[in-house]
Amino acid sequence: MNHDDPVLLRTEGRALHITLNRPRALNALTHDMVRRIDEALTEAERDDSITTVVLRGAGERGLCAGGDIRTIWENARTGGHASTAFWRDEYLLNARIARFPKPYVALMDGIVMGGGVGVSAHGDVRVVTERSQIAMPETGIGFVPDVGGTHLLASAPGELGTHLALTGTAVGPADALLCGLADHFVPSLRLAELTEALAMSGPAAEVTRTVERYATAAPRSGLAAHREWIDVCYASESVEEIVDRLQGCPAPAAGEAAGTLLSRSPTALKVTLAAVRRARRLGDLEAVLDQEFRVSYAARVLPDLIEGIRARIIDKDRAPHWRPAGLDQVTDGDVARFFTPLGDEELGLAPGCVPETTGPDTGARTGQV
Other C-beta atoms lying within 10 Å of the C-beta of residue 79: 8
**What are residue 49's phi and psi, to 5 degrees?**
-80, -15
Active-site entry in 138, 183, 240, 304 = 138
Active-site entry in 57, 62, 67, 110 = 67
Catalytic residue at 138? yes
Contact present, 300 and 83 (Cβ < 8 Å): yes
In DSSP notation, 34-86 reads HHHHHHHHHHHHH-TT--EEEEEESSSSEEE--B-HHHHHHHHHHT-SHHHHH
Catalytic residue at 146? yes
Antiparallel, parallel or unpaired: β 111-113 and 62-64: parallel
Active-site entry in 115, 116, 149, 168 = 115
Active-site entry in 146, 183, 240, 304 = 146
3-state secondary structure of 132: coil
Catalytic residue at 115? yes
Catalytic residue at 67? yes
- Give which of 367, 368, 294 is closest to 335, Cα–Cα: 294
The answer for 148, left when phi > 0, alpha when psi is -120 to 50, beta otherwise, is left
- The CA distances from residue 210 to 36, 199, 205, 206, 326, in Å, are 27, 10, 9, 6, 51
Residue 199 class from Cβ within 10 Å (0-12 exposed, 13-18 middle, 19+ buried)? middle
Active-site positions read 67, 115, 138, 146
